[in-house]
Amino acid sequence: MFTECLLTFDDGPHPTSTSLILDILAEAKVSAVFFIVGARLKSSICRSLARRAVAAGHVLGNHTFSHPKLVGKQLSEVRQELQRTHDLICECAGSCVVFRPPYGAMDQGVTDIATEMGYKILNWNVDSLDWKLRADGEWVEHAITELGGLGKEVVLMHDIHISTAYDLPNLLTHLMADPTRKIANAAMWSDFLKLMNLPAANCGVSKTARNEASFGEFTLSD
């Protein structure tokens, strides 16, 4: 029995690091889900990267327009965050049906809005901490310790950090050398919605505490 591993990247596209990551994934012949921050698609370079990702077989997901913590927001604000990004992604990909809330934070209101808009919510259960552990190879070592033979693993990474791009080949080498694990085709992301037998809206609770402080401050200049 294989443990299937779905690769996911949040917060991009980034003109430099996302481009490198796409090169690395192409060379390894694997695909990933990229959760897009809509404000980044104001850039023509980033729109081109989004289209390039789709053409290469990757999946684009909605990660809101400005990356706010949605819990506690007015429902109209939540809907606007999703809709603005939805429209921009659809210009690049034609459609968008998977959503990841910033920081993994959601409540019933967020879940209801996403569901009404036709989205499935996919979080993660392997937190690489690549945003924090940027020393040479450190985040990969941590990610490997988080891999637990869970049957289906969703790995959280961020394509806005150059250190993630530089060390990604090491993670791929580890995953591809493990005879008990295989990297899933990103198109099969919906197979991961029942992680750990939890409802889809709550899937992907990380071993690492899932709160805003643990992710550091998000800026569109990263």
Name the residue type at position 118: G
Cα 108 from Cα 126, distance rounded (Å)? 24
- Residue in the block written with tokens 């921009």: 88
Which residues does the annotation mark as catalytic? Answer: 10, 158
Cα 96 from Cα 44, distance rounded (Å)? 19
171 Cβ contact list (under 8 Å, min separation 6): 128, 140, 143, 144, 155
Q: 113-147 b/e with 16+ CB inside 10 Å = b?
A: bbeebebbbbbbbbbbbbbebeeeeebbbbbeebb
Across 54-101, the runs of DSSP E, i.e. the strands, are: 59-62, 98-99
Is residue 8 within 8 Å of residue 155, measured between CB atoms? Answer: yes
- Residue in the block written with tokens 């921050």: 37
Sign of the C-alpha dihedral, residues 120, 181, 36, 49? negative
